Structure 1
């Protein structure tokens, strides 16, 4: 009878195409994953992978074996996860990914209450403005938008990702407020540059009536980080396009003012991404339930909506 560790190492290596990626997913070292697969091959008496310095590919026998065991492995993992969740408190390292500004404003403040309820869970936050490979990089959950829904990953909508034009009261003092996006060309623009391409992001604003118009600010300062963009807007350096999630508190305080209140950019939803419910560990389920309950209780979907 093969060990579950050997079978998991084989299936994840086959799915992800490398021992390193499988190791990140299983919280093992690449050497341990390679050793588990080699042990499985010895026990079966067949070679499952063709190995080279650049790639890992299945042999014909490996493809056949993967098709026969992957479904059964999923059932075993689901049974273990269900039993573990019912038998005790959620525990273990919880790898999480989110954008830095969103995490600092809306997620990290939840950690004292979460850890008080689940003291055996160790949240391991990775804060970066990028779309992560949830399965390949071994994350238990990610919060953001636009993450590819690979097999085994689901998304739960938390709130809309609406972007609005904002500026500090001091910057707007003595200026005529714009009535249409075309008038923004007279304002100093604090603009977002893509980290991947280095190019300026292009946006289309949408009116409540359905009319669309391009955002056309006069470039004054270029940045590649939304938190820095918000900071520069607060300093009174110009007009910025930012998500409601990043500016809602400042709009409520009056430290930022919204221009063109009937116009916004709809960038899709802010979602919570995690592995399919059937295989969800107790620690991940606890976080998913905790976070979604917080968004519902605080009505953050409504607060982050630009049309409310």
Structure 2
């Protein structure tokens, strides 16, 4: 068992780049992780890591050993979780990362029926607009868009992640009509900083008939939260570019209207992200299935489309 503990500590440390990050995932102290790895090195007779005060780096022997054992601990954990689930059902802490407003508006309402079906699962959710490192941070599932698909992580698409332009009727009534993308030039823009890079991306509008054109809004206001951008648009501060799912609640309140309804920005997919394990823990598998089925029942893939009548 000591050898298995050492291998688990080695794999998590290699994946995250530090004993401290591995300790958070494994529920140990950094000192315990370091001692387990040291004992494993002694048992193997090779040094697996080059250690500095700032980071860990794999030795050549460590890289070879990681290739040989990576995935084995996940498979064992999954097999043990599945065996336990056969008698007790899905159970344990379910750590999920999801964006603030989207998670609150659309995912939290799916939680009650999930808890009724699986009362032994205990949700521990982190709301953050920034993509997390699923493996290093120890999450079972993350929901969002724009994640880097790192080794050991898979993505399951839930719905399109298209962006649209919105503004308040009051704002649109104060200036010349916006009929074509060229009419955006010089108008006040409410833009969102990328949570991954901290920069403001240069988005390109497309339309169903074809054609592309760059967005030429002035940078009047910059936020890092799409719900704040929608709020500012509803208050008449300018034209905001936000994801359809962020704008939907504001359309339902009649607080904003669509600008250039035939145009939108393609943004990939809104997805579920989870570890690429052959045997996922039952708590994770049933949660993924529940979210996918809830999206289907609520018709969210259609409602999140830039072509849906509710946002046109």
- The within-5 A match list for 1:84-99 is 84-99=84-99
TM-score, length-scaled by structure 1: 0.89
Moved runs in structure 1, 4+ residues, more than 6 A?
none
What is the deviation of 1:68?
A: 4.0
Q: In structure 2, what is the Cα distance between the partners aligned to 1:216 and 1:118?
A: 49
TM-score, length-scaled by structure 2: 0.88
Aligned residue number for residue 214 of structure 1 = 214
Equivalent position SS for 1:221: strand
List per-residue Cα deviations over 1:65-95 (Å, max 9, x = no partner).
Answer: 4444335444433422332333322222222
Equivalent position SS for 2:221: strand
Q: In structure 2, what is the Cα distance between the partners aligned to 1:226 and 1:214?
A: 20
Contact 1:27–1:138 at 8 Å: present in 2 too? no
Q: In structure 1, what is the Cα distance between the partners aligned to 2:5 and 2:106?
A: 37
Deviates more, 1:114-123 or 1:285-294: 114-123
- C-alpha spacing 1:41/1:167, structure 2 compared with 1 (3 Å): same
What is the deviation of 1:195?
A: 5.7
Aligned residue number for residue 294 of structure 1 = 294
- The within-5 A match list for 1:250-261 is 250-261=250-261
Aligned residue number for residue 248 of structure 1 = 248
- The within-5 A match list for 1:34-73 is 34-44=34-44, 46-59=46-59, 61-70=61-70, 72-73=72-73
Aligned residue number for residue 152 of structure 2 = 152
Q: In structure 2, what is the Cα distance between the partners aligned to 1:34 and 1:253?
A: 54
Aligned residue number for residue 275 of structure 2 = 275
Q: In structure 1, what is the Cα distance between the partners aligned to 2:157 and 2:104?
A: 20
Aligned residue number for residue 27 of structure 2 = 27
Output the aligned Cα RMSD. 2.4
Deviates more, 1:212-221 or 1:156-165: 212-221
List per-residue Cα deviations over 1:204-241 (Å, max 9, x = no partner).
Answer: 11121111111112333232321211111111222111
Q: In structure 1, what is the Cα distance between the partners aligned to 2:144 and 2:262?
A: 25
Q: In structure 2, what is the Cα distance between the partners aligned to 1:44 and 1:175?
A: 73
Aligned residue number for residue 239 of structure 1 = 239
Q: Which structure 1 segments of 5+ residues have no match?
A: none
What is the deviation of 1:4?
A: 3.0
What is the deviation of 1:302?
A: 0.3
Deviates more, 1:49-58 or 1:178-187: 49-58
- The within-5 A match list for 1:156-175 is 156-173=156-173, 175=175
List per-residue Cα deviations over 1:7-54 (Å, max 9, x = no partner).
Answer: 211222233332122223323221221232233345455544343323
Contact 1:84–1:282 at 8 Å: present in 2 too? no
- C-alpha spacing 1:79/1:197, structure 2 compared with 1 (3 Å): closer
What is the deviation of 1:186?
A: 5.1
Contact 1:97–1:139 at 8 Å: present in 2 too? yes
| Number of residues of Structure 1 aligned to a counterpart in Structure 2 | 308
Q: In structure 1, what is the Cα distance between the partners aligned to 2:24 and 2:94?
A: 13
Aligned residue number for residue 180 of structure 1 = 180
Deviates more, 1:42-51 or 1:104-113: 42-51
Q: In structure 2, what is the Cα distance between the partners aligned to 1:222 and 1:64?
A: 46
Equivalent position SS for 2:284: helix
Aligned residue number for residue 12 of structure 2 = 12
- C-alpha spacing 1:137/1:187, structure 2 compared with 1 (3 Å): same
Q: Which structure 2 segments of 5+ residues have no match?
A: none
Q: In structure 2, what is the Cα distance between the partners aligned to 1:198 and 1:13?
A: 27
List per-residue Cα deviations over 1:143-174 (Å, max 9, x = no partner).
Answer: 11121212221100011111111112232336
Equivalent position SS for 1:95: strand
Aligned residue number for residue 192 of structure 2 = 192
